[in-house]
Amino acid sequence: MPPSPDRLDATDARLLLALREDPRASVMALSQQLGLARNTVQARLARLESSAALAPLDRRVRAEALGYRLAAYATVQVVQRSLAEVSDALAEIPEVLEVTGLSGAADLLVHVVAQDADDLWRLTEQVLAIPGVQRVDTALALRRFVEHRTAPLLDRAAQDG
């Protein structure tokens, strides 16, 4: 599990919003846009990059661009005390994008991608073959109505300053 990021303040939020608008902006351009000293911008960027505040860049790459046209969410029930082993095994499968522990009847929510229905079948069989997996229920993602986003939270944080 990654370390917890330091809490972002309003200046951090404004900086991240500016980078969202122009990801290639120079430190000098950001400094002028935000009315901050160049060294302040540089130090804050360095802190944001070294902490867990920013998600990895690969989060921006769309699986569809790599030929994975199907997305699905699988709920996985796991034998008690096997969560770590099952999670480690899931992390070894390239088509597994994210694994989240849940409360309730299912133990894990697994976001997967596949090239087609046959590939999804193969992937489901692969997950079922992991020692400790009891049951897998899969639901196809048909359409994304709201993209992954944090801009509204950044807007709110920027206004809190």
- Rounded to 5 degrees, φ, ψ at 78 are -125, 145
Polymer length of the chain: 161
Instruction: Report the alpha-carbon distance of residue 154 to residue 21 in Å, rounded.
Output: 13
> 63-141: same fold as 10-54?
no
Q: Is 81 left (phi over 0), alpha (psi -120 to 50) or beta?
A: left
Q: pTM higher than 0.85, yes or no?
A: no
Looking at residue 53, what is its pLDDT?
84
- Over residues 47-88, the pLDDT tens digits come to 998 887 888 878 888 999 999 999 999 999 999 899 999 999
CATH topology of domain 10-54: Arc Repressor Mutant, subunit A (1.10.10)
Q: Does domain 63-141 have CATH number 3.30.70.920?
A: yes
